[in-house]
Structure 1
Amino acid sequence: MTALPRAGAFVYPWDVAGDPAAADRLASLGVAQATLAAAYHSTRALTPRHPAHRVVTARHAAVYYPPGSRWSRRALRPYPQGWLPGEDPYGEAADALAAAGLDVHTWVILAHNTRLGEEHPQSTVVNAYGDRYPWAPCIARPEVRDYAVTLAAEAAVRPGARGTELESCGWYGLDHLHAHDKIGGAGLGGVGGFLMSLCFCDICRAGAAAHGLDPDALRAQVAKALEPFWTDGPARPRPAYRADEWAAVRELLGEETAAAVAAWRGATADRFQRAAVAAVREEAARRGVEGFRVLLHADPAPHRCGANAGVDPAGVLAHADGVVLPCAGGATARADVLAPFAPHRDAHHTVVANFPVVAGMGGSPATLADDARHAAGLGATELRLYHFGLASDADLDAVAVALGG
């Protein structure tokens, strides 16, 4: 039987810090790597096995290590956490994971921070209706890019880390797992979601104008294109695949307008991503860390927004060491995200298939082995499991069987 690709699992500091058995338990599953959150957004998480708690509420986006002096004169800065004991729960967890024989890589969230957006609303995405998204700092803005690039370097290159995985390293938009979320009624899908994610802040208006667009006319055009989504609701047909989504956007906005929008947003995202990767590598070199690997959580459709930010497959592999791709869903969905990278990767690139393994959150740990082999056939070189700390004992038992742990 074909061996599965090398596997790693996502981990929160609170899964390990304060639980002497956690690191060895993870290692016993058969994973080689722990991708440990160093900078993470707000969340409420179960901890099914922790001896001291069962629920952790991270009230706001935070860093899980003591932030450095580089932030002293910056308006936009990361917030330290205050819900876990100790000044450096990341460091405590990282030490325990390394002692269990696991490679530790950092997990860093960049363009997603609700508290930052609430305190600095001028730095957030503004949609075609004038609504601001406090959870979505606008990556076109110089102050946001400076904040995110600085955070990427500091949070990624923690002591002992051998690489990093940068999430939301690109445009963020409407989609957001917000508390008591109630925006599903319109059934926007990928097309409506993209239109609702277009930013019209002053920087983005100037960027659109520089690409030959009238910002006011574009804003009105986007609002008009969205009208059927409000009237037809979920009954409106939705494109199933990413390529079809962009074809629908071109039809709604017109070829020239869609091309200009794509050029502006694509160039902005590329500049943001390259700056973040370069800053991480520079910091790793400054600290004398050789071979530090930089991966981006990504989607091969450049118009996609969110945690898995849209990228051009050829472009991102020209400057990053690889990508982490969402592989929830069936075989067709996996092919949709993995196959576009195959023509552009070489032996030095890492293509990670990210599988949810928490059955209560829609994951399928029981089919992990077959799903992973299918992903490997599509070019995946590694697996990532979401999420060690959230999984039940039964989920972890199924993972261990799949990985031979």
Structure 2
Amino acid sequence: MKTSAFVYPWDVVGDPDAARRIADLGVQQVTLAAAYHSTRALTPRHPHHRIVTAEHAAVLYPADEQRWKGREPAPYAAGDWAPGDAFGEAADALAAAGLDVHTWVVLAHNSRLGAEHPDTSVVNAYGDRYPWAPCIAQPATRAYLVDLAAEAATRPGARGTELESLGWYGLAHLHAHDKTAGVGLGDAGQYLMSLCFCPSCRDGYGRHGLDADALAQSVRTALEPVWRGETPDGGWDAVEKLLGAETATATRAFRDATARSLQETAVAAVRDTAPDGFQVLLHADPVSYHCGANAGVDPAHILAVADGVVVPCTGGAGLLGPFAAQGRGVVAANLTVVRGMGGSPGTLAADARAARELGATELRLYHAGLAPDADLDAVTEALAGL
């Protein structure tokens, strides 16, 4: 199975041994961040640092000034964690080590954008803004995401891309010092707390026969038992029970159509910019109402639009089935191989075989730069045995 490891530019730049070390794992490809959200990352083998703090979402290459001149939103340049063309420098080193380089592009996840331009953010039924979550129904935000996808995905030397968070982002978010786990929301509560009520979404609900004020009140009423500790059972059936089937279906119709059209437009923009044979994959979840980095999609639709998907499989590969059933495209199983982050490098070979039996055609390993030596040794051994 073709295997790719996720990597940040700062894992490679300044470390003359990094590219060869990654190639020696037995992978054929790297998925190298070109546009990424804020993070604090460990670099356990780098000769010059151990902690990299990316203070805000940024592009990790010089953005095209002509493309973005006078526009808002626009991408932010990286600070000293990825100066200049950090992506390009890392990509050159990785390619020289014999690895195919694909870009890793994070899109609708940008806390600095929400802080500086709060009107771009998702607004929940209580009026609370989610600064990490740009609303994908807003025309200016959609235009920004499409152009960012086209520019960041098609960096020189890249042979493909993986587009992360190309869809709705909602409440769920690994926020600094997070204190939101005290109430169990369940799948249905997460959906209700992720519904957006910005002006663009309010208009969208209206086009689907819903009064936005009445919908917001219905959401707040439905959530009252949740705040008392009654976690709703079930997935979409629970949403329908809480909101009423007709209302729930109308909200989902608006949100699904909004995400689908953005995905179609962004993938088309990447292909218009990229050379022939350029591969376009989405990080995806087969349940279309789910939010987050792995965008909720309809499997049949997305595999007719993109060349394939990258599917979260740490802890189980059950999400592969709906994609594999389509019988087309790349279906890559994404496995965390860092024990300290919940991964299991010691069972990688077995996990990879199980994923293949469920329809995976490729593997993704998260994350070559974050893992300690012992975890990387386990990865090398597992890949040698596949």
Do these two structures clear the TM 0.5 threshold for a shared fold by scoring above it? yes
Q: Which secondary structure state, in structure 2, belongs to the residue aligned with residue 344 of structure 1?
A: coil
Q: Which position in structure 2 is the counterpart of 1:173?
A: 170
1:401 pairs with 2:374: no
Q: Which secondary structure state, in structure 1, belongs to the residue aligned with residue 182 of structure 2?
A: helix
Aligned length: 384
Is residue 111–residue 148 contact of structure 1 (8 Å, CA) maintained in 2? yes
Q: 1:238 to 1:30 in 2, by over 3 A?
A: farther
Alignment equivalent of 2:30, drawn from 34, 37, 59: 34
Aligned-pair distance for 1:140?
A: 0.3
1:104 pairs with 2:101: yes
Alignment equivalent of 1:272, drawn from 239, 257, 262: 262
Aligned-pair distance for 1:86?
A: 4.1
Is residue 42–residue 370 contact of structure 2 (8 Å, CA) maintained in 1? yes
Q: Which position in structure 1 is the counterpart of 2:344?
A: 364
Aligned-pair distance for 1:342?
A: 2.2
TM-score normalised by structure 2 residue count: 0.98
1:49 pairs with 2:45: yes
1:199 pairs with 2:196: yes
Structure 2 unmatched ranges of 5 or more:
none
Q: Which secondary structure state, in structure 1, belongs to the residue aligned with residue 228 of structure 2?
A: helix
Divergent runs of 4+, >2 A:
236-239
Amino acid at match of 2:307: D
Looking at structure 1, the residues matched to 135 and 82 of structure 2 have their Cα atoms a distance apart, in angstroms, of 33
Looking at structure 1, the residues matched to 224 and 308 of structure 2 have their Cα atoms a distance apart, in angstroms, of 38
Amino acid at match of 1:266: D
Superposed CA offset, 1:156-189 (max 9, x none): 0000000000000000011111111111101213
Q: Which secondary structure state, in structure 2, belongs to the residue aligned with residue 129 of structure 1?
A: coil
Structure 1 unmatched ranges of 5 or more:
none
Superposed CA offset, 1:128-158 (max 9, x none): 0000111100000001000000000000000
Q: Which secondary structure state, in structure 1, belongs to the residue aligned with residue 314 of structure 2?
A: coil
Amino acid at match of 1:338: L
Q: Which secondary structure state, in structure 1, belongs to the residue aligned with residue 364 of structure 2?
A: strand
Is residue 57–residue 83 contact of structure 1 (8 Å, CA) maintained in 2? no
Looking at structure 1, the residues matched to 186 and 303 of structure 2 have their Cα atoms a distance apart, in angstroms, of 28
Amino acid at match of 1:209: G
Looking at structure 1, the residues matched to 180 and 45 of structure 2 have their Cα atoms a distance apart, in angstroms, of 33
Q: Which secondary structure state, in structure 1, belongs to the residue aligned with residue 179 of structure 2?
A: coil
Alignment of 1:193-342 (within 5 A): 193-232=190-229, 236-237=230-231, 239=233, 244-284=234-274, 289-330=275-316, 334-335=317-318, 337-342=319-324
Amino acid at match of 1:294: V
TM-score normalised by structure 1 residue count: 0.93
1:345 pairs with 2:327: yes
Looking at structure 1, the residues matched to 203 and 119 of structure 2 have their Cα atoms a distance apart, in angstroms, of 15
Q: 1:379 to 1:82 in 2, by over 3 A?
A: same
Superposed CA offset, 1:223-259 (max 9, x none): 1111111101xxx4565xxxx4111111111111111
Looking at structure 2, the residues matched to 55 and 388 of structure 1 have their Cα atoms a distance apart, in angstroms, of 15
Looking at structure 2, the residues matched to 237 and 363 of structure 1 have their Cα atoms a distance apart, in angstroms, of 28
Looking at structure 2, the residues matched to 85 and 120 of structure 1 have their Cα atoms a distance apart, in angstroms, of 24
Q: Which position in structure 1 is the counterpart of 2:365?
A: 385
Aligned-pair distance for 1:85?
A: 6.0
Looking at structure 1, the residues matched to 260 and 327 of structure 2 have their Cα atoms a distance apart, in angstroms, of 18
Q: Which position in structure 2 is the counterpart of 1:184?
A: 181
Looking at structure 1, the residues matched to 4 and 225 of structure 2 have their Cα atoms a distance apart, in angstroms, of 43
Looking at structure 2, the residues matched to 60 and 85 of structure 1 have their Cα atoms a distance apart, in angstroms, of 11
Superposed CA offset, 1:295-320 (max 9, x none): 00010000100100100001111111
Q: Which secondary structure state, in structure 1, belongs to the residue aligned with residue 5 of structure 2?
A: strand
